[in-house]
């Protein structure tokens, strides 16, 4: 074989290895103290996670993913759909800056663009019904124009409520009546452009919103009373839900459209059903369930899925519930919350974040001399909780078992840590004090934040953001005292 045929063989081998199997993870960044992107990328690599789904196209995040060879799904947030839908120029700019550049100069393995995130959720009241499809079209055209449409596929991560079953079993599946035509337009477009359908499936939410939901049906242990669908038994909600989508697609002529599970997971705090035990049981159960590659009754074969989520995000909106900030398999600072075998490593255990730098070991708590009925208590707690994170307080949560003083201290400390331990952030009149003794008890952790991440600076030619910030601070300072 001459060098030429060797080269050709190598190239065709490379082309065969198109999509990696194995589990993916969602990497969200709505955190007050996010880990440095390099730390997260290392975390992904050391845990053998080869696919990552993002919610935006943050420069530093993508740069850190460069050369890692991890497959990346970048995201266009819902609030950008209008501009993508109405301006081809905007879509082209987005693709040029947030896809092309990263592929060509940073070597990022971008494979998908997620256009919007669950844009048809009923809570959005239809706000994105008109813009999602035109945005999808424009982004696809921009990818074609950039010469990337073979390697980068568009998709729309949708909530599982875009389909339903009139009979209550998977075979009755079809798209929701009020968006049926729109869904077909989108599905046809995805099919024509060789793109997958992306759906987020959440047995936890079913359990959370329906007190009569059979708990065992959320898990994969086969302990639930099966749902019988014309002779096929469904032992867990995931299979049934996934197949309801498979039937919806088939019924409308798209039985072969690939499906990606964009989000699947279980939170560990913020609700009585959100705990480490259930999260471990669900995620491990899911991993084992899909590991053999046997798929679901309707779709035998490997399941392409992204865990939600990699790390906790303490700044997420808690409108859907207090559990929102606790989806991570890792804590905000990269510690494993429970044992989980992702099937990607020989060791079978999670590898934790490395080189994480913490702030000082000190906490803000309620003074022992302060009285519970001090009039400053209530406003202080509500102020602290409003600006920090009290989602671990409440019935059945990790800090739910504390007494009133514990509750108050937890709130004050959360605010103090969020404010990077500023002295002024522990000056709740007459009631607070700083201590060096860890007030954590049992399952309740009084967190200390990590050193704030200020953003990479390499790509900013000239004046790094941090210096600009400092300069602005100085100018303000002088203006104030003059």
Ligand X SMILES: *[C@@H]1O[C@H](CO)[C@@H](O)[C@H](O)[C@H]1NC(C)=O
Among 38, 46, 56, 164, binds ligand X (CB under 6 A): 56
Q: Is 380 helix (H, G, I), strand (E, B) or coil?
A: helix
**Residues binding ligand X: number (CB under 6 A):** 19
Among 273, 430, 433, 441, binds ligand X (CB under 6 A): 430
Distance CA 139, CA 154 (A): 8
Binding window for ligand X (CB under 6 A); candidates: 42-50, 51-59, 266-274, 419-427: 51-59
Closest distance between ligand X and the C-beta of residue 326, in Å? Answer: 15
Distance CA 94, CA 104 (A): 15
Closest distance between ligand X and the C-beta of residue 478, in Å? Answer: 32
Task: Rule CB under 6 A: say whether 92 interacts with ligand X.
Answer: no
Pick 20 or 318: Cβ nearer ligand X: 318
Closest distance between ligand X and the C-beta of residue 366, in Å? Answer: 12
Pick 390 or 450: Cβ nearer ligand X: 390
Distance CA 399, CA 401 (A): 6
Which residue is catalytic, options 71, 263, 313, 447? Answer: 263
Binding window for ligand X (CB under 6 A); candidates: 94-102, 301-309, 334-342, 453-461: 94-102
Closest distance between ligand X and the C-beta of residue 239, in Å? Answer: 32
Among 5, 12, 18, 125, binds ligand X (CB under 6 A): 125
Is residue 38 annotated as part of the catalytic site, yes or no?
Answer: no
Query: In 428-458, which positions are buried (b, 16+ CB within 10 angstroms) versus exposed (e)?
Result: beebbbbbeeebeeeebbbbbbbeebebbee
Contact 431, 372 (CB under 8 A): no
Task: Rule CB under 6 A: say whether 145 interacts with ligand X.
Answer: no
Pick 76 or 249: Cβ nearer ligand X: 76
Give the CA dihedral 41, 32, 336, 76, nearest 10 degrees: -50
Kindly identify the residues of this chain, within the stretch 389-428, that bind ligand X according to CB under 6 A.
Answer: 393-395, 403-404, 407
Nearest to 265 by CA among 295, 307, 306, 310: 307
Contact 464, 457 (CB under 8 A): yes
DSSP letters, 93-119, are HHHIIIIIHHHHTS--EEEEEEESSST
Among 39, 78, 98, 132, binds ligand X (CB under 6 A): 98
Task: Rule CB under 6 A: say whether 360 interacts with ligand X.
Answer: no
| Phi-psi group of 230: left, alpha or beta (phi > 0 → left; psi -120 to 50 → alpha; rest → beta) | left
Please give the residue whose beta carbon sits closest to ligand X in the complex. 56
Among 31, 44, 57, 425, binds ligand X (CB under 6 A): 57
Helices (H), 194-270: 203-209, 215-218, 237-251
How many residues are given for the chain? 482
**Which tokens go with 373?**
């009925």
Task: Rule CB under 6 A: say whether 236 interacts with ligand X.
Answer: no
Query: Which residue, chain included where needed, has tokens 């919007």?
Result: 116
Pick 101 or 171: Cβ nearer ligand X: 101
Is residue 263 annotated as part of the catalytic site, yes or no?
Answer: yes
Strand ranges, E, within 176-264: 197-200, 227-229, 232-234, 259-264
Closest distance between ligand X and the C-beta of residue 61, in Å? Answer: 9
Distance CA 389, CA 386 (A): 7
Distance CA 314, CA 447 (A): 12
Binding window for ligand X (CB under 6 A); candidates: 24-32, 90-98, 296-304, 356-364: 90-98
Closest distance between ligand X and the C-beta of residue 403, in Å? Answer: 5
Pick 403 or 438: Cβ nearer ligand X: 403
Q: Which residues would be at the binding site for ligand X (CB under 6 A)? A: 56-58, 93-94, 97-98, 124-125, 127, 376, 393-395, 403-404, 407, 429-430
What is the set of active-site residues?
Answer: 118, 263
């Amino acid at each position: 074989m001459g060098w030429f045929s060797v080269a050709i063989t190598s190239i065709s081998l490379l082309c065969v290895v198109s999509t990696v199997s194995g589990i993916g993870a969602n990497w969200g960044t709505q955190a007050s103290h996010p880990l440095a992107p390099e730390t997260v990328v290392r975390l992904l690599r050391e845990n053998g996670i080869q696919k990552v789904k993002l919610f935006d196209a943050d420069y530093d995040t993508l740069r850190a993913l460069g050369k890692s060879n991890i497959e990346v799904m970048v995201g266009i947030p819902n609030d950008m759909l209008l501009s993508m839908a109405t301006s081809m120029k905007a879509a082209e700019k987005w693709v040029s800056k947030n896809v092309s550049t990263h592929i060509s100069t940073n070597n990022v393995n971008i494979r998908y663009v997620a256009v919007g995130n669950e844009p048809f959720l009923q809570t959005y009241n239809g706000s994105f019904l008109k813009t999602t499809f035109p945005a999808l079209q424009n982004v696809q055209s921009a990818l074609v124009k950039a010469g990337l449409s073979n390697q980068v596929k568009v998709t729309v991560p949708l909530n599982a409520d875009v389909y339903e079953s009139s009979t209550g079993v998977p075979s009755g599946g079809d798209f929701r009546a009020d968006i049926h035509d729109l869904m077909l337009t989108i599905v046809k477009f995805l099919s024509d452009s060789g793109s997958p359908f992306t759906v987020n499936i959440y047995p936890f939410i079913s359990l959370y919103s329906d007190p009569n939901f059979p708990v065992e049906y959320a898990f994969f242990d086969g302990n639930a009373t099966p749902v019988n669908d014309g002779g096929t038994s469904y032992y867990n909600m995931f299979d049934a839900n996934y197949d309801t989508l498979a039937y919806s697609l088939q019924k409308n002529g798209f039985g072969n459209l690939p499906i990606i599970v964009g989000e699947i997971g279980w939170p560990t705090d913020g609700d009585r059903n959100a705990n480490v035990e259930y999260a471990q049981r669900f995620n491990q159960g899911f991993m084992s369930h899909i590991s053999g590659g046997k798929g679901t009754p309707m779709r035998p074969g490997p399941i392409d899925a992204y865990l939600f989520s990699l790390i906790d995000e303490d700044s997420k909106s808690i409108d859907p519930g207090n559990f929102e900030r606790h989806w991570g398999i890792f804590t905000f600072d990269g510690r494993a919350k429970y044992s989980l075998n992702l099937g990607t490593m020989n060791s079978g255990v999670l590898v934790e974040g490395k080189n994480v730098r913490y702030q000082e070991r000190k906490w803000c708590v309620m003074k022992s001399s302060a009285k519970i009925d001090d009039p400053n208590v209530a406003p202080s707690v509500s102020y602290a909780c409003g600006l920090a994170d009290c989602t671990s307080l409440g019935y059945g949560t990790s800090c739910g078992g504390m007494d009133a003083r514990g509750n108050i201290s937890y709130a004050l400390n959360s605010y103090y840590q969020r404010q990077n331990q500023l002295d002024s952030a522990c000056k709740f009149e007459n009631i607070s004090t700083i201590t060096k003794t860890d007030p954590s008890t049992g399952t309740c952790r009084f967190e200390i934040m990590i050193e704030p991440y200020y953003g990479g600076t390499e790509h900013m030619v000239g004046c790094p953001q941090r210096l600009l910030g400092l300069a602005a601070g100085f100018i303000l300072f002088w203006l104030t005292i003059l």
